[in-house]
Chains A and B, each alone.
Chain A
Amino acid sequence: MSLTYLEAIREAQAHALRDDPRVFIYGQDVGAFGGAFKATKNLAQEYPGRVLDSPISEDAMVGLAVGAAIEGMRPIIEMQFADFSTVGFNQIVNQAATLFWRTNVPCPITVRLPFGGTSGSGPFHSQCIEAIYAHYPGLIVLTPATVEDAYAMLLEAVALDDPVIFCEHKFLYYHLKADELPSEALPVGKARISREGRDLTVVTYSAMVHEALEAARELSGEGWEIEVVDLRSVKPLDTDTVVASVARTGKLLCVGESWPWGGVTAEIISRVTGEGFGLLDAPPQRLNAKDTPVPYHPNLWAAHRPTARSVASAARNLLRS
């Protein structure tokens, strides 16, 4: 058996529906049609009445999920694209994220955001907006980079008693394959060392993990051994694993597909310099997308986001410093 990242997401939802009668899925075109990306393919047929089409109302979709969660359900909301979740932003950050703190009543909702760039998708179907959600207290923000994590972390997201922003990368949907679904997994909140190395630590997440791994392979041919840390969860952030890696390598490069102002890469550097300044042999660096909307044309898009080449180049500069 071999399955893709997207199929893993579909399987996780099927298992959640099968194992927990409190789970339902609500989103645009998720019912009989199976979703814009087919992440809910056949689920409406297999679980009648539990996979439901919503009107194009991101605000009301999330509001409904919060009400259902108060009533003891575990809704999964599919945003057709992460970019459109900004229309439901208010309900996510002001309603879902504040409920537990204000009232002691948990808000177990999972909001799935198909996010990140793919060639030709342009400014409104490519955005990486994990950092704005991570900024708000009351939310868990997950960014799986592997098929196994997509499956296990989505199941864990649904089981958690808190609102989870589940950022699933569209670039990984079809490319990434695994032989089987995992039977156990690292828990949410723990980063993974995707590749061990002694010369430099690259901290990254989601699709950029694969760019970093490719860069590491390239640099290995030049005699450098790069350690790649996959954050898996950007909130909470596993600072300990990152600092321990920097303690081994002395050099830090943070890579993110999102925009450069603030965000996850800046947060990592802030934490590492605050906790482990003395561990650093060189100023920590970060590599992000350019500070423009995400371009449509493949030539522009490939230059807009970090790639294995630009990661390798940034790493070389840091290694030689």
Chain B
Amino acid sequence: MLQTVLDASPRTDAAAAQDVHVAAYRFMLLARLLDDKFAALYRAGKIHGGVFLGRGQEALSVSVGISLKKGDVFAPLIRDAAGRLAFGETVLDAVRTYLGSSLGPMRGRDGNVHRGKPQEGYLPMVSHLGAMISVVNGVLFARRYKKISGTVGAACVGEGATSTGAFHEALNQAGVEKLPLILIVANNQYAYSTPTHFQFACDSLADKAAGYGVEVQTVDGTDLGACLKVVGEAVARARRGGGPQLVVAELLRLCGHGEHDPNDYIDPKLWESPLGRDCLKVAEEYLLRQKWMAPSRVAILRNEIIREIEEAVAQVQREPAPDPFVEQWHSIATGHLNEGNEER
């Protein structure tokens, strides 16, 4: 969310661009270092279940989180640590979910990337790909029904999810209802191990937009400036009443599907191609070239972030784990209608 960055008195366009880039870069670096920490904790056997990283997708992801405002809706997916942080998630809540703290938003009932706070517009993903898009539609539909205007909702998916029925149904639904949905597709060239030619037969995923009557833009997902511009404009168009927006970003997943995945199926030529550029490095070089940040400032920032992450991990490791004897084991809100847990 940007207003914290831009709330200051009017500034020139260049100065504003600098502020946004610097803020975005900070979230990208935070996400990268947080991901690195989760990977290290995973290798050390400190995390139950899997770890899924967003390495190489931070520029796109942060552009979504930073383009949204308080009151907007965000349904991130597995590679969106940067977007989540930019949307307002705290490092503590991310760490709590990965480490299963009972104080985290999911209280150990769900873990890793399955986290959110629905009451704050931050929707917690279910695993089933494509399934969150229509939920965003529903929030936006209800907002319109309640005559709340000016808010938008963004959902993120990978190119693999574009093959699901849920993707099709939801994008069509958003088109029919003209909802202010921004659907971000990160084409990172592989869905787990499946290359794109087994996933879709059109030239570009952008071709799909016409079939739903939605606007579409493509963007180089390794270029922070381009992502900020394209995603920011899509969000602005949706906010102005322009209807659903599709954004297709081309990039490469610079990690395994999860940390368990050796990732050896990726075509080596892709690493050398422009798609294989590390968006974090690209952004950093740009900031330095523009003299928007000094090298010393980058080093200080990195140290600050590492300290923040280490403190969060240390704190969460002292927090109570969920206790099965305290857990209510209630799956529905209407207390007396829960069943099945009595000692029969």
A188 close to B (CB within 8 Å): yes
Chain B residues whose CB sits within 8 angstroms of the CB of A162 once the complex forms: 332-334, 337
CB under 8 Å from chain A, chain B span 104-140: 105-106, 109-110, 114, 116-119, 123-124, 126-128, 131-140
Question: In angstroms, how far is the closest chain A Cβ from the Cβ of B271?
Answer: 35
- Of A71, A105, A237, which one neighbours B138 at CB under 8 angstroms? A71
How large, as a class, is the contact surface on chain B? Answer: 35 or more
A314 close to B (CB within 8 Å): no
Segment from B28-36, B162-170, B236-244, B295-303 that makes contact with A? B162-170
Chain A residues whose CB sits within 8 angstroms of the CB of B332 once the complex forms: 100, 137-140, 161-162
B40 close to A (CB within 8 Å): no
A169 close to B (CB within 8 Å): no
CA distance in complex: A97, B331 (Å): 8
Question: In angstroms, how far is the closest chain B Cβ from the Cβ of A235?
Answer: 7
- Of B114, B139, B165, which one neighbours A102 at CB under 8 angstroms? B114
Chain A residues whose CB sits within 8 angstroms of the CB of B114 once the complex forms: 102
Q: Are A66 and B119 in contact (CB under 8 A)?
A: no
- Of B135, B330, B337, which one neighbours A63 at CB under 8 angstroms? B135
CA distance in complex: A91, B164 (Å): 13
Q: Are A66 and B135 in contact (CB under 8 A)?
A: yes
Segment from A53-61, A125-133, A178-186 that makes contact with B? A53-61
A72 close to B (CB within 8 Å): yes
A306 close to B (CB within 8 Å): no
| CB-CB under 8 A for A57 and B169, given A71-B139, A90-B131, A162-B332 | yes
- Of A49, A63, A99, A140, which one neighbours B134 at CB under 8 angstroms? A63
CA distance in complex: A43, B169 (Å): 26
Q: Are B138 and A70 in contact (CB under 8 A)?
A: yes
Q: Are A188 and B109 in contact (CB under 8 A)?
A: no
Q: Are A60 and B172 in contact (CB under 8 A)?
A: yes
Chain B residues whose CB sits within 8 angstroms of the CB of A95 once the complex forms: 126, 128, 131, 135
Q: Are B173 and A60 in contact (CB under 8 A)?
A: yes
- Of A58, A59, A62, A105, which one neighbours B118 at CB under 8 angstroms? A105
Interface string of B156-187 (1 = CB under 8 A from A): 00000000011001101100100000000000
Chain A residues whose CB sits within 8 angstroms of the CB of B338 once the complex forms: 236
Q: Are B109 and A102 in contact (CB under 8 A)?
A: yes
B5 close to A (CB within 8 Å): no
Chain A residues whose CB sits within 8 angstroms of the CB of B333 once the complex forms: 100, 106-107, 161-162
Top 7 closest pairs, chain A to chain B, by CB: A67-B138, A63-B134, A71-B142, A60-B169, A57-B169, A137-B331, A64-B138
Q: Which residues of B contact A (CB under 8 A)?
A: 105-106, 109-110, 114, 116-119, 123-124, 126-128, 131-143, 145-146, 165-166, 169-170, 172-173, 176, 330-334, 336-340, 344
